[in-house]
Amino acid sequence: MRRSLCAEAIRLAGVIAELMPDEPEALGLHAPLLAHDARRDARVDADGVLEDQDRGRWDAHGIARATRLAARALRLGAPGRYVLQAAIAVEHANSPTAADTQWQRIAALYARLAALAPDPVVELNRPVAIAMAGDIPGGLARIDGLGDALDRYHYFHAARGDPLRRLGADEAAAGAYARALALAGNAAERAFLERRLAQTRAAVGYDGRAPT
């Protein structure tokens, strides 16, 4: 995590927001930078994945600033890409736990974002939110539909692993986590994927030996 680079990006985005206080996309650019930076200290340890972060280490002041900016941006008119990203970021940042996250609202925001800027990575986040909101088979089906475009993207395979695990398909989940682990580079993400892989392999009685 290059803290000086993050600080400079936030500073420059803040300058733009000050120069253009009535431009929603300027505010929308600043808000998610603040929201993500507020989680910085919890993102770089062994529990860096959002689901497992110690939310007590998040910067409440930074989250409050981001939330105010996002709310103002949303009041200024029809949201663009940055405003929608800001709304998603502050929705996560203001959730006291992963289980308390308003996943249906996040899925709706991703749907609007995908309509503005079609992209397979954006499209991946929507079914993840759909699955987290309770429609696990529906979310998994939408994730699987992105396989051709995202096969080399480790988040795709990690995203498949979670609904498979929650559906009890531990062998398939283990395969997805193993593929994600082979592609991942970040140490905190690798630690998370190794835990998930161990859990799913244990569930199917995998003992580490090659099959005979």
pLDDT in tens, 134-158: 999 999 999 999 999 999 999 999 9
pLDDT tens readout for residues 66-84: 999 999 999 998 999 999 9
78: helix, strand or coil? coil
What's the pLDDT band for 185 if we cut at 50, 70, 90? confident
pLDDT value at residue 191: 87
Give pLDDT, residue 44. Answer: 62
What pLDDT sits at residue 207?
A: 58
Give CA separation, 187 vs 52, 58, 73, 115, 159, in Å: 14, 20, 35, 33, 18
Distance separating alpha carbons of residues 154 and 97, to the nearest angstrom: 24
Alpha helices in the chain (DSSP H): 3-19, 24-38, 40-43, 60-75, 81-93, 103-116, 120-132, 136-144, 147-150, 154-166, 170-183, 187-203
Q: Residue 206: pLDDT band by 50, 70, 90 thresholds? A: low
How confident is the model over 110-129, as pLDDT tens digits?
999 999 988 999 999 999 99
High-pLDDT (> 90) share of the chain, % = 75
Write down the residue that tokens 């992209």 correspond to: 119
Report the mean per-residue pLDDT for the chain.
Answer: 90
- pLDDT tens readout for residues 10-39: 999 999 999 999 999 999 999 999 999 998
Q: What is the pLDDT of residue 210?
A: 43
CB 173 within 8 Å of CB 164: yes
Per-residue pLDDT, 55:
86
The full set of domain ranges for the chain reads 1-99
Q: Quick: pLDDT tens for 46-60.
A: 455 677 778 888 999
Amino acid at 80: G
